[in-house]
Homo-oligomer: A and B are copies of this chain.
Amino acid sequence: MKIGELGRATGTSVETIRFYEAEGLLSAPARNAANYRVYELAHLERLSFIKRSRDLGFTLDQVRELLRLADDPGNSCAGVDVITARHVAEIDRKLADLNALRGELVRRLDSCQGPTIADCRIIEALSPKSAAE
């Protein structure tokens, strides 16, 4: 299959596929007479793995590690589980941060009666005079 087909099959853009190849995540495929990339089933499977991992929020470095671990089915999966648990912990941190931000913003939004900048509770929250709040 050609790169466009592989992209459609995996939900990945052509540019991203070439980027993954340059990054060493996806091995360079054979070329046809026109110098077009020609992919095999193994490429489709590997790219699917990468796509799913990215969709689950793993970084490319984590994906690299997951691929390495996944390549040997006899290995212990402890490493995979550690990477995943660490990733969950990161997500928890982000969730906590975002929730705090959201709370602060919504509180301000709700209390703002306008009508002008001078009375705006959001601007007030941002302005240094309110620093003692």
Whether A128 pairs with B74 at a CB distance below 8 angstroms is no
Contact indicator A84/B101 (Cβ below 8 Å): no
Q: How far is the CA of A125 from the CA of B77 in the complex (A)?
A: 13
Which secondary structure dominates chain A's binding surface? helix
Q: A31 at interface (Cβ–Cβ under 8 A)?
A: no
* A127-B49 contact given A69-B117, A98-B98, CB 8 Å threshold: yes
Residue of B nearest to A91 (CB): B102
Q: Which residue of B lies closest to A67 (CB)?
A: B126
Known: A115-B76, A120-B77. A84 touches B56 (CB 8 A): no
Tell me if A99 is interfacial: C-beta within 8 Å of chain B.
yes
A126 to B49, Cβ gap below 8 A?
yes
Q: What 10 new A-B contacts, CB under 8 Å, besides A70-B123, A76-B117, A77-B112?
A: A52-B125, A66-B123, A74-B116, A77-B114, A77-B123, A80-B123, A81-B109, A91-B98, A91-B102, A94-B98
